[in-house]
Amino acid sequence: MYKDIATPVRTKAILEKYGFSFKKSLGQNFLIDTNILRNIVDHAELSESSGAIEVGPGIGALTEQLAKRAKKVVAYEIDQRLLPILSETLEPYPNAKVIHSDVLKANVKEMIEQEFAGIDDIMLVANLPYYVTTPIIMKILEENLPLRGIVVMLQKEVADRISAKPSTKEYGSLSIAIQYYTVPEVVMIVPKTVFVPQPNVDSAVIRLTIRQKPLVEVKSEEFFFRVTRASFAQRRKTILNNLTSQLDNGKEKKEAILSALQTAGIEPSRRGESLSIEEFAALSDALYESF
């Protein structure tokens, strides 16, 4: 049996052997708790016929646990210094492949077609670098990839915002964007003590189950998201004030905005955070022709 990568002793030995130093700019925090890694993989509910995509494998601690459960694992790693380490640590797992690439610039759809041919059940499972969490999740969702879902570790505060309900201080345009595509569920809280180096904040693992079709039907997705972002631009302002100040030519189109609010049955004095996703859909559809 191979020793797990994610023990404090083995992690330290690997880092020392390669003289690896952490780059703050890449948000590198490696997990040194095998039980937590196994738990993350449990929440992905993988089988021997599943595929897993990982972003930021580090020294391969999570990759190893995924490779033990899934049929195939493909991990994107941006840091060239980690490639020789990964080729050593993942040597026992021929079903794991590392691609040296920035996932934000990668053609993930094409990779899935090539690497996961014949695999119908695919999950994205990752301990995401905190500074690019949202762009990575949004890229994966907007590209409409053939995934069952996403299980990722991220800052607890971001997990709270993703899963927030209306009329809470965490609820905002990020909550709406991700809930439009998925059903989110915070499945674990992870203390900062199980990482090297220790981050300043606690983390959470969130599972995003991708919806068969978006939560609401809208005339234009792009415009719907523009309206939601505008509505939260200044949280203390009313929905009317935010829309007139944030939408193109909003001040000149104030009457059209008032009329759309009336059509959607929304009081102009309400704040963005009080609106449900369904209300935002009705509002953006009512506004769409005017903008």
**Distances from the Cα of 97 to the Cαs of 100, 219, 271, in angstroms?**
10, 40, 48
- Sign, CA torsion 140/207/172/256: positive
With beta carbons less than 8 A apart as the criterion, state whether 184 and 158 touch: no
- Check the annotation: does 221 bind a ligand: no
- Check the annotation: does 107 bind a ligand: no
- Check the annotation: does 121 bind a ligand: no
Per-residue tokens: 60: 């391969």
- Check the annotation: does 56 bind a ligand: yes
Amino acid (one-letter) located at 231: S
- Check the annotation: does 77 bind a ligand: yes
**Distances from the Cα of 63 to the Cαs of 25, 72, 116, in angstroms?**
22, 10, 16
Half-sphere exposure of 13 (CA within 13 A, CB side): 10
Q: How far apart are CA 14 and CA 186, in angstroms?
A: 32
Annotated binding-site residue numbers: 29, 31, 56, 77, 102, 127
Annotated binding-site residue numbers for S-adenosyl-L-methionine: 29, 31, 56, 77, 102, 127
